[in-house]
A and B are shown apart, each in its own frame.
Chain A
Amino acid sequence: DTGVSQNPRHKITKRGQNVTFRCDPISEHNRLYWYRQTLGQGPEFLTYFQNEAQLEKSRLLSDRFSAERPKGSFSTLEIQRTEQGDSAMYLCASSPSANQPQHFGDGTRLSIL
């Protein structure tokens, strides 16, 4: 399967804990995006990378959130000191370049107890 892969699929954690999600994009896709989706809403942009460079961050991305894409391959999204409001589906997508369709993974569902 050469699609976008996200791990884990589900994460349940207590409030205040740190969590890290991983995304493996389609090979040779230069762009990698992170989104958050809550019930009844469309995906909300969080951040994106062009190769290893993080080019844009949404104001939704508070200081507790950090994303990396070392060597321009896989990416990680870390949330520190999780809060109830962080409960959502976190989606990763990749595309060959700008103005190209994004291919999404199946997401990581985060539940904060």
Chain B
Amino acid sequence: DQQVKQNSPSLSVQEGRISILNCDYTNSMFDYFLWYKKYPAEGPTFLISISSIKDKNEDGRFTVFLNKSAKHLSLHIVPSQPGDSAVYFCAASAYGQNFVFGPGTRLSVLP
């Protein structure tokens, strides 16, 4: 029973274009969502978060959108840079409890 899904294992984008990473969840109790980036041999690094009372949060080149009715969130990276190439995980939690992570999407930004 995978509560957080990232259905695209990989994504390739040209440098300077927009990267859109998607995440779907099944547990309607989730009220806090995060995106992490992970480089090889390192732990995940926090990127951006959003609580369920909002539908959008922006931080520089990163924007997260939340559609509660569809149980869907997405991460937009604009413009994409080669240094953004990494594995991206979305994660969700309910009522301040433990976080559930998706399986990740590998983003490759091509020069």
Which residues in A have some Cβ–Cβ distance to B below 8 Å? Answer: 4, 33, 35, 40-45, 48, 56, 58, 91, 93, 97-99, 101-107
Contacts and interface: CB of A to CB of B under 8 A. Distances in A.
A44 B51 CA distance: 21
Residue picked from A42, A45, A48, A102, most chain B C-beta under 10 Å: A42
A106 B103 contact: no
Interface of B: 4, 31-32, 34, 36, 41-46, 49, 51, 89, 91, 93, 96-104
B34 A101 contact: yes
B4 to A, nearest CB: 8
A97 B104 CA distance: 25
Given A58-B98, A106-B43, 9 more contacts: A42-B4, A42-B101, A42-B102, A99-B93, A101-B49, A102-B34, A102-B46, A104-B44, A106-B42
Contacts of B41: 106
B103 A42 contact: yes
Main secondary structure of the interface of B (DSSP, over half): strand
Contacts of B36: 104
B57 to A, nearest CB: 12
A104 B103 CA distance: 17
A43 B44 contact: yes
B16 to A, nearest CB: 28
A56 B97 contact: yes
Contacts of B93: 99
Nearest to B9: A40
